[in-house]
Amino acid sequence: MVELTRAVRFCINPDEARAGGWERADNTFAAYPSMRGLGRYYELDVICRGEIDSATGYFLNIKQIDQAVRAGAVRVIERACSERAGIFPGVLLPEIIADLDQRLGTEAGGKARVARVRWRLTPYYSVEMSIDATEIVLLRQQFEFAASHRLHSAGLSDADNRAMFGKCNNPSGHGHNYRIEPCVELCLSGELPALSLGDLERLVNLTLIERYDHKHLNVDTPEFACAGFNPSVENIARECFHRLSPAIAAHAAAGGARLRHVTVWETDKTSCTYPA
């Protein structure tokens, strides 16, 4: 069994749905349909699951994924942008994922199944759904805060700390522009979720950004200053989860939203997700 992921890029252009056609596909790498006027740019990550065909060496031809997205999903999104632009995007995912699964299953002789679809509405904001749980949407949004820290363990000698952490043990500390991405699980009920993107942004700002942005974590934050809690990216991710999770639960007191996990990037090369 393998999983194949294909990113399909496209634009929704003003009045295109009513015009009844798209321009030529001269640049499918950047987006097709391409941008015309003040359009919307989107990406769909389509994750398919199945077995590799022993004769062809293929599980699924990626051109089939492209064609299925443009024949179905793009049309669904295009119509919604024209007629229901104020809805929560996750509301469209059950229709999109069912249409893709039907098209790809038919074209691949029943050997392919869509496992998940992730719709990237911006480079930092996405909604995702699994075909096995079409009542659940995963909402992700990224944020940034700048902070300094020093990696130092009270249980080690100064020499052992220098050997363990190297430059990161500098007594004056060092800094990072941290990126943080909460992943919130939402139960679909109607066209508005229990937690909107605006709600998430407000809660993250209140509980995490205001607490950590432009701070020296070892000095300015009690959880790392007083408890001797080493502010590694692992511990930062865990602390962010434990602070944000109850805030989301309190906001959605009647249910319908919970924090699934938080990912923190210390650099583009290093990140940690908690819980794993």
Q: Give the residue numbers marked as catalytic.
A: 168, 214, 266
- Tokens linked to 48: 């398919």
Tokens 């924090």 belong to: 259
